[in-house]
Structure 1
Amino acid sequence: MKTKTLRRDKVNIITLGCSKNMVDSEVLSGQLLANDIAVVHENKKLDHNIVVVNTCGFIDKAKEESINTILDQVELKRKGKLDKVYVTGCLSERYKNNLEDEIPEVDAFFGTMELPLILKQFEADYKTELVGERLLATPQHYAYLKISEGCNRTCSFCAIPLMRGKHQSRSIDDLVREAEGLVRKGVKEVMLIAQELTYYGLDIYKKRALPELLHRLADVQGLEWIRLHYAYPSKFPLEILDVMRERDNICNYLDMPLQHASNNMLKAMKRQITREEMEELVASIRERVPGICLRTTLIAGFPGETQEDVEELKGFLERMRFDRVGIFTYSHEEGTSAHDLVDDVPAEEKERRAQEIMEVQQEISYEKNQEKIGQVFKVLVDKKEAGRYLGRTEFDSVEVDNEVVVHSDRKLLPGNFYHVKITKAYDYDLEGEVVEV
């Protein structure tokens, strides 16, 4: 008579959406590991028996991807290849009741702030002494550092406050401790993320404390690059730039989503800033930090947007000449104030406008990259792929920005810095060779 072998649980975490979700998955992994539960990210071996899907609920495409991923895992469970399927993250926070009705095969749904409840499913304890500890899903030389949760802004298109709640800053001491721990693990670059960086500290210190946090992080020995993501333009605290200029290990890089440049659209989006004020801000930023790389993101097809608004946005891009631009098509989200407006731009037209806008930026990006030929940059090698080394300069963040194809006669080590002379330039990428300096 055969007896069934009791195998140890192994949990696979699938992360969808933004880097903030990635950090949440890493924290969950760290907690599971501390409770002696085997855990992996995006497991390709398929030797796990439990899956946690960390979902995104930001826009339609992200929601669709999340639903399809859940259904794929439920199908594996139906075939007997999985014992349990759990769902967490933003989609689950926002549509928990609907999802429970529509996909009853999922064993449990959890919101964005319910980590202790997830752990209970594994008869595991939430270990408060592990706050800041996590199992990195990124290569060991870079990591995301989430400095706050939630958002107090009321942008009309954004559902994030519905899913993540009000702004909650983490303390400077906790963040410095976490950064020191990351460096001990081999991390050389941290990317500061939040829904809104510049609001940091207002809730717990009653003042904008990002400059102080940056100084403290810049003091962490072994932290070579600190990168800033997601700054809000209205009432932007310019003293952040003074710290950036003063401290060598803070990258001359700022990711500041502007969303549009037509005053009609900015007002409808409740962005609390005008195009003229944005132009003044960009000029001030470049004056305070010469050579800074500015990245922004935009939305095409917001309700009421006209071709005239699109032309205004294109003109703005041509004048501002941002280094990096990303673009989303508008997604009509329940619970947002923009949902009361008529979603009057057809999907195909949204895509056409987004393409038209990006063609303007593509030309700007090509021209800016051509200017880099012959220059030498400090490059962090991320990986070797298809026989080529791929890296980034301080002006490029992971996945969203340019890559540098690095040529070398000698073996290069991912996670190490090299001086690279740029020999070729394309719309969005560079090529170069390692040189001795």
Structure 2
Amino acid sequence: MAVKIGMVSLGCSKNQVDAELLLALIVEGGYEISADASECDVVIINTCGFIEDAKRESIETILEFCQMKEEGQVKAVVVTGCLAERYREEVSVEIPEADVVLGIGKNKEILQAIRDALDGKKTVAFGDKYALPLEGPRILANAPYFAYLKVADGCDNRCSYCAIPLIRGGFRSRPVEKVVEEAKRLADAGVTELNVVAQDTTRYGEDLYGRPALPELLEQLCRVDGIRWVRILYCYPDRITDQLLEVMAREEKIVKYMDIPIQHVSGRLLKLMNRRGDAGSLTALMRKIRKRVPGVVLRTTLITGFPTESEADFFELCTFIREVKFERLGCFPYSAEEDTPAAEMDGQIDEEKKHRRAEVVMEEQYRVIEAFNASQIGRRLTVLVEGRARDGLWYGRSYMDAPDIDTKVFFTGPADCPSGSYVAVEITGTEEYDLLGRMLEVEA
């Protein structure tokens, strides 16, 4: 009887790609994988270690499966990913029930670690971060019609609040030809939507070619047969070039959607974050993007409660949200991460105030999204079907919605509306953040 392996992958889309590379190695090694980790012989927890909430979720998940091992439901627990890399020996010392703790530089050794765990041997191994595999076959952990395409790993931006460079190392791009080859393999497997990701997607290529190469890469991705949508996530505002906007506007396959995490708009706080800009420059950038790429939907993420954030800084942020009107926005209370410069700064804000300010930001954003959604009534949108909500009611995503993080379009339609198909939907109403509509036809 084949040994069953289950994977629980936590955190961001970049971490998910690592998990999918691991799953392919596991299948190549002769193991069977199962979507239900609780029914497996071996469970791999691909952890996140980015902020406190993510670390807590990772630890709770590890402990949950260790308890299942104690009860005889699973045979071995394997811990990989960012938490394992960041805290290394601490994980194995604090959670001795884990059979394997692998740093990201040892992902290639997952098969031997599993074999040893099943033989009762414990493995705690770490290597060079830059040995993390970025290439190879993948087994998608999500629906088969979309995929994340990781074009680089690591980061050189050194934002003062962020531990990513400590965990992942410096920024390193994959060669254009390797990325395009992977896109072709994904398309051949049935993927029609590519979501281009990196810690800073707009830096892509600088380390390999001495210049930003994202526009060139996007043009080549748009030539891949079978791909219908190409979406760009994690754009750094300072690196959004005229060339990138020109390619976005020109290429039909690139959805008119741009994810630009700006974190804040106070020039003083951005400087403390080791970022550039202020409310004026960021407002000008958003206007420029909207002018160059008509119909574009802009997404951002913000941080409240960064050290020394004053009431005036927070008021400036709320004013900016009302004026710029991002169509998609997320907000997170600042998390003081050890070994980052921001954690050592004076003027730390108390937790209650950080969370309350985040709530206020989302209240401001809800008013923005209410007005935006109302403006969509009567519009015809192409929707990528994701599933059935109930008989006669389906849901999916338009070009305005990235997978996992954004809103949905719910629509009435026929008895059979296959997931992964593209349909035309007339928007007839709204429900909180989501749009409602009726299907008009299947699009070719």
Q: Distance in 2 between matches of 1:163 and 1:108?
A: 19
Q: Distance in 1 between matches of 2:166 and 2:313?
A: 28
Task: Please state how far the C-alpha of 1:347 moved relative to its aligned partner.
Answer: 1.2
Given that residues 132 and 174 in structure 1 are in contact (C-alpha distance below 8 angstroms), is that contact kept between their aligned partners in structure 2? no
Q: Aligned ranges for residues 151-170 of structure 1 at < 5 Å?
A: 151-170=155-174
1:328 equivalent in alignment to 2:332: yes
| Aligned pairs, number | 426
Match of 2:29 among 27, 31, 35: 35
1:9 equivalent in alignment to 2:22: no
Q: Distance in 2 between matches of 1:84 and 1:346?
A: 40
Q: Distance in 2 between matches of 1:111 and 1:364?
A: 42
Deviates more, 1:329-338 or 1:278-287: 278-287
Q: Distance in 2 between matches of 1:47 and 1:393?
A: 35
Match of 1:118 among 107, 110, 131: 110
Task: Please state how far the C-alpha of 1:51 moved relative to its aligned partner.
Answer: 0.8
Task: Please state how far the C-alpha of 1:426 moved relative to its aligned partner.
Answer: 3.3
The code of the aligned residue for 1:86 comes to V
Q: Aligned ranges for residues 232-243 of structure 1 at < 5 Å?
A: 232-243=236-247
Q: Distance in 1 between matches of 2:312 and 2:104?
A: 40
Q: Secondary structure at the match of 1:326?
A: strand
1:195 equivalent in alignment to 2:189: no
Q: Aligned ranges for residues 325-364 of structure 1 at < 5 Å?
A: 325-342=329-346, 344-364=348-368
Q: Distance in 1 between matches of 2:9 and 2:380?
A: 36
Task: Please state how far the C-alpha of 1:113 moved relative to its aligned partner.
Answer: 2.9
Task: Please state how far the C-alpha of 1:424 moved relative to its aligned partner.
Answer: 0.3
Deviates more, 1:266-275 or 1:319-328: 266-275
Q: Secondary structure at the match of 2:104?
A: coil
1:61 equivalent in alignment to 2:62: no
Task: Please state how far the C-alpha of 1:302 moved relative to its aligned partner.
Answer: 0.6
1:424 equivalent in alignment to 2:416: no
Q: Distance in 2 between matches of 1:8 and 1:186?
A: 28
Q: Aligned ranges for residues 71-90 of structure 1 at < 5 Å?
A: 71-90=63-82
Match of 1:132 among 136, 147, 162: 136
Q: Secondary structure at the match of 1:204?
A: helix
Q: Secondary structure at the match of 2:156?
A: coil
Q: Distance in 1 between matches of 2:368 and 2:7?
A: 39
- Structure 2, gaps ≥5 residues long: 117-131
The code of the aligned residue for 1:19 comes to S
Given that residues 149 and 195 in structure 2 are in contact (C-alpha distance below 8 angstroms), is that contact kept between their aligned partners in structure 1? yes
Q: Secondary structure at the match of 2:414?
A: coil
Q: 1:214 to 1:130 in 2, by over 3 A?
A: closer
Q: Secondary structure at the match of 2:396?
A: strand
1:269 equivalent in alignment to 2:273: yes
Question: Deviation digits for residues 316-355 of structure 1, max 9, x if unmatched?
Answer: 1111111100011100001111011136211111111001
Task: Please state how far the C-alpha of 1:189 moved relative to its aligned partner.
Answer: 0.3
Given that residues 370 and 426 in structure 1 are in contact (C-alpha distance below 8 angstroms), is that contact kept between their aligned partners in structure 2? no
Given that residues 380 and 391 in structure 1 are in contact (C-alpha distance below 8 angstroms), is that contact kept between their aligned partners in structure 2? yes
Q: Distance in 2 between matches of 1:235 and 1:397?
A: 21
TM-score by length of 2: 0.93
Q: Aligned ranges for residues 344-423 of structure 1 at < 5 Å?
A: 344-387=348-391, 388-423=393-428
Given that residues 381 and 413 in structure 1 are in contact (C-alpha distance below 8 angstroms), is that contact kept between their aligned partners in structure 2? yes
The code of the aligned residue for 2:324 comes to M
The code of the aligned residue for 1:10 comes to K
Task: Please state how far the C-alpha of 1:210 moved relative to its aligned partner.
Answer: 0.2
The code of the aligned residue for 1:104 comes to P
TM-score by length of 1: 0.94
Task: Please state how far the C-alpha of 1:238 moved relative to its aligned partner.
Answer: 2.5
Q: Distance in 2 between matches of 1:430 and 1:354?
A: 24
Give me the identity figure in percent: 39
Deviates more, 1:332-341 or 1:405-414: 405-414
Given that residues 7 and 46 in structure 2 are in contact (C-alpha distance below 8 angstroms), is that contact kept between their aligned partners in structure 1? yes
Q: 1:155 to 1:87 in 2, by over 3 A?
A: same
Match of 1:18 among 12, 15, 18: 12
The code of the aligned residue for 1:405 comes to F
Given that residues 401 and 428 in structure 1 are in contact (C-alpha distance below 8 angstroms), is that contact kept between their aligned partners in structure 2? no
Q: Distance in 1 between matches of 2:286 and 2:354?
A: 27
Q: Distance in 2 between matches of 1:282 and 1:10?
A: 49
Q: Secondary structure at the match of 1:435?
A: strand
Q: Distance in 2 between matches of 1:36 and 1:99?
A: 28
Q: 1:220 to 1:356 in 2, by over 3 A?
A: same
1:227 equivalent in alignment to 2:221: no
The code of the aligned residue for 1:279 comes to T
Given that residues 57 and 63 in structure 1 are in contact (C-alpha distance below 8 angstroms), is that contact kept between their aligned partners in structure 2? yes
Q: Secondary structure at the match of 1:114?
A: helix
**Over aligned residues, Cα RMSD in angstroms?**
1.7
Question: Deviation digits for residues 15-73 of structure 1, max 9, x if unmatched?
Answer: 111111111111100111112111234x16x3311011000001111000000101111
Q: Aligned ranges for residues 307-322 of structure 1 at < 5 Å?
A: 307-322=311-326
